[in-house]
Chain A
């Protein structure tokens, strides 16, 4: 249980404890969660007051050969971390509820080969959602994470139409009980943030952590710009593809074994 502690959110830190907890979180980021599997290798939390660096490009490699059919661990972890599940009654149809990551089952008709993979925001280098946004709410952070600035989002949903991965959702209902680190609200479009609040603290995204914790190890998170990072090394070794590579969006999420 003690190994899991860095994954948990810290308990209501008082201002005087904040600096200390940040240091502990940074130190704990490299903790082994299982033999040979680390939550995150390179990252320490960025020092306070420093903006995200353009020298880093966060990315994911998803090994579909290790992604079990019917396993929804990453989806559940995402919903828990970002407080996506709505408690109580809702009048919103199931197809309209916020969804940041989903599992897709595929079958190659010619051969009958089946595979399963998680699909979410691909954090494109040239994101179409940013191109079409009329208010500048959709933006790409310096470290490659594509986000919605909900202070500017007017809820027009052009980005939802522009996204080839159907990665974004619209919030139809007033919300309560958000994660303090993940503000969300009615009338805005939202999508996978690559758990930017965790990444900034030196932790891996919740889906990656959950996948590793459950022993699947199908998701690898890291800095694509660092040739020594685990993800860069693996990308050099194995064949991986971008989904809809024909669109030349330069996705930060790549898939192995499709």
Chain B
């Protein structure tokens, strides 16, 4: 913005006559006003894009709040580390009933509407992973539904 106005000022300074200079100044002011106006239009647009205008926000629905193994801030940042450290203990050493488990996640975070942690943007795991564009491949193999609902016996 400052560069633009100085350019306008320099242009008016090099103008030949006083009458022509007056006309140029008016034109320059008008240009500046236009630039300001257009800028003012853009500012709220970009702000609203950040708040969810153009980018779909994750819809986080938690039915059983406060029951998680760690506070939300820590879970958001570290849930993948917790899971990947527990994984070999459970699979290879056979440790069961650990505090951290993928099944534990699903038991709380499966949607009450359709019983799954994935599927749509309203399903807990998928909503955030879509937002941050991180591929979620746990559920290529793991059941995204809690308990015995995955299989009927």
Contacts and interface: CB of A to CB of B under 8 A. Distances in A.
A183 B107 CA distance: 15
Question: Which of B64, B67, B103 has the most chain A CB atoms inside 10 A of its CB?
Answer: B103
Interface stretch (A61-69, A100-108, A124-132, A143-151): A143-151
Contacts of B149: 12
Nearest to A51: B93
Interface stretch (A160-168, A171-179, A237-245): A171-179
Is the contact region of chain A dominated by helix, strand, or loop, or is it mixed?
loop
A27 interface: no
Nearest to A143: B94
A15 B95 contact: no
Contacts of B96: 45-46, 48-49, 200-201
B91 interface: yes
B97 interface: yes
A174 B147 CA distance: 21
Given A142-B93, A180-B147, 10 more contacts: A8-B148, A11-B148, A14-B107, A48-B97, A49-B98, A51-B89, A149-B88, A180-B151, A185-B140, A196-B94
Interface of B: 64, 67, 87-89, 91-98, 103-104, 106-108, 140-143, 145-151, 153
Interface of A: 8-16, 18-19, 22, 45-52, 80-81, 83, 139, 141-143, 147, 149-151, 174-175, 177-181, 183-186, 188, 196, 200-201
28 contacts: A10-B147, A10-B148, A12-B107, A14-B64, A14-B107, A15-B67, A15-B104, A16-B67, A48-B97, A49-B95, A49-B96, A49-B97, A52-B93, A80-B151, A81-B153, A141-B94, A142-B93, A149-B92, A151-B91, A177-B143, A177-B150, A178-B143, A179-B151, A180-B143, A180-B150, A184-B141, A185-B140, A185-B141
